[in-house]
Amino acid sequence: EVQLVQSGAEVKKPGESLKISCKGSGYTFTNYWIGWVRQMPGKGLEWMGGIYPGDSDIRYSPSFQGQVTISADKSISTAYLLWSSLKASDTAKYYCARHQDSGTYFGAFDIWGQGTMVTVSS
């Protein structure tokens, strides 16, 4: 079964760092772009950026450039989203998702992780 499994919910304080993960299985992880999507409480979906694990090509939305870091470890089929200094406004649910066509980001998201809820509060 093709799936993406994300790490569990996190509660952090402002200024702390955080890395959440997204592990792919059931397919060749290096061949498909992975995107990250933010959903703030009660709000819509926002594309943050994506990575091609095969060569670590990374693209960011201008809205998130410099705010987060996307990476991947292809040896363990896992993508990451990292914050160096969290803010209360980072409170949201974060999804990873796979672009459906091999080797390109010109594809819809066909497989989604279950989401990781990140709560930032003092």
C-beta of residue 98 within 8 angstroms of C-beta of residue 111? yes
Interface residues toward another protein, by CB under 8 A: 35, 44-47, 50, 59, 61-62, 95, 97, 99-100, 105-110, 112-115
Tell me the closest approach of the beta carbon of residue 50 to another protein, in angstroms.
7
Q: In the complex, what is the shortest distance from the CB of residue 49 to another protein, in angstroms, rounded to a whole number?
A: 9
Q: Is the CB of 25 or the CB of 114 nearer to another protein?
A: 114
Are the C-beta atoms of 38 and 113 separated by less than 8 Å? no
Measure Cα distances from 79 to 4, 30, 33, 84, 102 in Å. Answer: 10, 10, 10, 17, 16
Distance CA 33, CA 57 (A): 9
Identity of the residue, 75 or 106, whose beta carbon is nearer to another protein in the bound complex: 106
| DSSP 8-class letter at 8 | P
Q: Closest separation between CB of residue 16 and another protein, Å?
A: 25
Least distance from C-beta 97 to another protein, angstroms?
Answer: 8
